[in-house]
């Protein structure tokens, strides 16, 4: 049987015969799909997530610690970096749909104090600053997607890796999953191939394993890995305080948070459920949890996850061998219909399935939570305008570097 015939049979067997296969490329793509997984994801769509037995978590507020203690923690972190036991991983496989930038989000340009800078460039500047301070090039691993990998690699090459030695920068590609329409059917994209999308930032663990990044880290005796987003101008990728504090608290994972600005802010919040660490995404948080306050009127579930995560290498290994759940997002996507016409939908028409990095937290009994400050730690670029846009993020970042200068 030819590949084309094989693909047609597979589609027929799995209720996807609306996809007409007439070339080898498409056939090969179809033969690689995991139809059981696709069916399971769609069948779980309307499953309600239960939030019973949730309780708030305790964060460490550095403002309440003595100065000497903070210095001690920072020293511990610094020593780990100097011993070359620390690496950074950047999650850059997202599609940045809300921002609407053409190309990988890290190639988005912002004007900082009248100078144009790319998001990737700002990250590299932070690593170069660490090199100056600790005399160590910190290995940096960048997770890309099959959609944006070649563009990301080309971008770094064209920009001469922004002065970072290229042997310390490595891109690896995360896994994809098909988008499904509202009836659970596969979708054809403008390139006449099945429309795929990266499987969420929680895909970092299995992708690191598959691409032998964890093995490489172990070979290099790396013990601690900071995993952060590409789009937070204020992210501290080389966070000596978080590192030293985590080592002192003897936990295998840690995160830096900020307090939610208001109950409706679109961030995930950290809590405990049945003694496991959990982050409840803003799209899934029940009203009573969102609005719960203590006797002083402070939000009970206000500790927000801002994608600043620290993992011990052992924790990475554990997370990479465990199955993580998928969350479904209702999205808008262009597609080619059965009459071969391009359709640009006006409202959400598909489901995208994503793993979230913070779902790995529940694999561990304990976590170190360090409370940061919005003005110093969180300037995300999510939307093209309004809240969490380039404009708001640049303002925060400029104010921070001016204050530091
Ligand atoms: P978001 O979930 O905010 O996604 O990513 P996004 O791609 O930036 O934007 P939208 O939702 O499409 O508008 C948070 C971080 O996780 C990364 C992003 O690149 C960003 O650094 N991410 C997201 C991945 O690495 N892979 C994914 O599949 C999704």
Among protein residues, the one whose CA lies closest to atom 28 of ligand 1 = 200
CA distances from 45 to 39, 42, 199, 267, 393 (A): 10, 5, 16, 22, 34
Residue nearest to atom 1 of ligand 1 (CA): 94
Q: How many angstroms separate the alpha carbon of residue 72 from the centre of ligand 1?
A: 34
Q: Could you tell me the distance, in angstroms and rounded to a whole number, from the CA of residue 231 to the centre of ligand 1?
A: 8
Quickly list H helices, 188-228: 204-210, 213-219
What backbone torsions phi and psi does residue 180 show, to the nearest 5 degrees? Answer: -125, 145
Q: How far is the CA of 227 from the centre of ligand 1 (A)?
A: 13
Q: Compute the Cα dihedral for 204, 205, 207, 213 and give only its sign.
A: positive
**Tokens at residue 313, please?**
């290498």
Query: Can you give the residue ranges of every domain in the chain?
Result: 59-259+305-404
> Residue 146 in contact with residue 189, Cβ under 8 Å?
no
CA of 14 to the centre of ligand 1 (A): 30
* Measured distance CA(86)–CA(90) in Å, rounded: 14
Which ligand 1 atom is the nearest neighbour of the CA of 197? 28
DSSP-based three-state secondary structure for 196: strand
CATH number for the domain running over 59-259+305-404: 3.90.550.10
Residues with CB under 6 A from ligand 1: 91-98, 105, 143, 174, 198-201, 229-231, 307, 354, 382
Spacing, Cα 145 to ligand 1 middle (Å): 10
224 CB-side CA count, 13 A: 31
Atom 25 of ligand 1: nearest residue by CA position: 93
pTM (whole model) above 0.85 = yes
Using DSSP bridges, classify how beta strands 86-91 and 140-144 pair: parallel, antiparallel or unpaired: parallel
| Atom of ligand 1 at shortest range from CA of 357 | 16
Ligand 1 mean position to 89 CA, how many Å? 14
List strand residue ranges (DSSP E) for 24-93, in order: 54-55, 86-91
Q: Which atom of ligand 1 is nearest to the CA of 90?
A: 21
Ligand 1 atom, smallest distance to 99 CA: 13
Q: How many CA atoms are closer than 13 Å to the CA of 391, on its beta-carbon side?
A: 5
Using the mean position of ligand 1's atoms as its centre, give its distance from the Cα of residue 201 in Å.
6
Q: Which contacts of 101-105 are long-range, i.e. CB under 8 A and separated by 24 or more positions?
A: 103/148, 103/151, 103/155, 104/144, 104/148, 104/151, 104/152, 104/155, 105/230, 105/231, 105/381
Q: Helices 67-82 and 119-134 meet at what angle, rounded to 10?
A: 100
Q: How far is the CA of 92 from the centre of ligand 1 (A)?
A: 7
Q: Whose CA is nearest to atom 22 of ligand 1?
A: 94
Best residue among 89, 94, 179 to mutate for probing ligand 1's pocket (most ligand atoms within 8 Å of CB) is 94
- pLDDT per residue of the chain (405 residues) written in tens, 0 to 9: 899 999 999 999 999 999 999 999 999 999 999 999 999 999 988 777 677 889 999 999 999 999 999 999 999 999 999 999 999 999 999 989 899 999 999 999 999 999 999 999 999 999 999 999 999 999 999 999 999 999 999 999 999 999 999 999 999 999 999 999 999 999 999 999 999 999 999 999 999 999 999 999 999 999 999 999 999 999 999 999 999 999 999 999 999 999 999 999 989 999 999 889 999 988 889 999 999 999 989 899 999 999 999 999 999 999 999 999 999 989 999 999 989 999 999 999 999 999 999 999 999 989 999 999 999 999 999 999 999 999 999 999 999 999 988
Q: Which atom of ligand 1 is nearest to the CA of 231?
A: 21
């Amino acid at each position: 049987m030819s590949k084309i015939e094989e693909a047609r049979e597979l589609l027929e067997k799995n209720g996807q015969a609306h996809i007409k296969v007439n070339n080898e490329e498409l056939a090969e793509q179809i033969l690689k799909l995991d139809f059981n997984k696709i069916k399971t994801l769609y069948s779980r769509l309307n499953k309600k997530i239960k939030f019973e037995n949730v309780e708030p978590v305790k964060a460490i507020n550095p403002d309440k610690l003595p100065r000497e203690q903070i210095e001690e923690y920072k020293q511990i972190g610094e020593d780990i970096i100097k011993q070359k036991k620390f690496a950074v991983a950047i999650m850059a496989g997202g599609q940045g749909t809300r921002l609407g930038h053409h190309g990988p989000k890290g190639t988005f340009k912002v004007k900082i104090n009248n100078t144009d800078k790319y998001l990737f460039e700002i990250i590299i500047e932070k690593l170069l600053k660490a090199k100056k301070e600790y005399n160590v090039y910190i290995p940096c691993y960048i997770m890309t997607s099959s959609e944006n990998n070649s563009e990301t690699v080309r971008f770094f090459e064209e920009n001469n890796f922004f002065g970072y030695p290229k042997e310390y920068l490595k891109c690896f590609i995360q896994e994809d999953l098909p988008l499904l329409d509202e009836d659970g059917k596969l979708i054809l994209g403008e390139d006449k191939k099945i429309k795929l999308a990266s499987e969420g930032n929680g895909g970092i663990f299995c992708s690191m394993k598959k691409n032998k990044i964890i093995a490489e880290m172990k070979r290099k005796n790396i013990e601690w890995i900071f995993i952060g987003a590409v789009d937070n101008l204020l992210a501290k990728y080389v966070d000596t305080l978080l590192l030293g504090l985590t080592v002192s608290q003897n936990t295998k994972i840690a995160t830096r948070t900020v307090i939610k600005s208001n109950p409706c802010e679109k961030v995930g919040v950290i809590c405990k459920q049945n003694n496991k660490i959990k982050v409840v995404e803003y799209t899934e948080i029940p009203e009573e949890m969102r609005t719960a306050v203590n006797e002083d009127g402070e939000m009970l579930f206000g500790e927000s996850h801002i994608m600043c995560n620290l993992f011990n290498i052992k924790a990475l290994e554990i997370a990479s061998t465990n199955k993580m759940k998928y969350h479904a997002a209702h999205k808008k996507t262009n597609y080619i219909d059965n009459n071969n016409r391009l359709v640009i939908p006006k409202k959400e028409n598909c489901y995208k399935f994503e793993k979230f990095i913070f779902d790995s937290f529940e694999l561990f009994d304990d976590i170190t939570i360090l409370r940061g400050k919005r003005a110093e730690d969180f300037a995300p670029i999510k939307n093209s305008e309004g809240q969490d846009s380039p404009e708001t993020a640049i303002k925060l970042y400029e104010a921070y570097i001016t204050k530091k200068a």
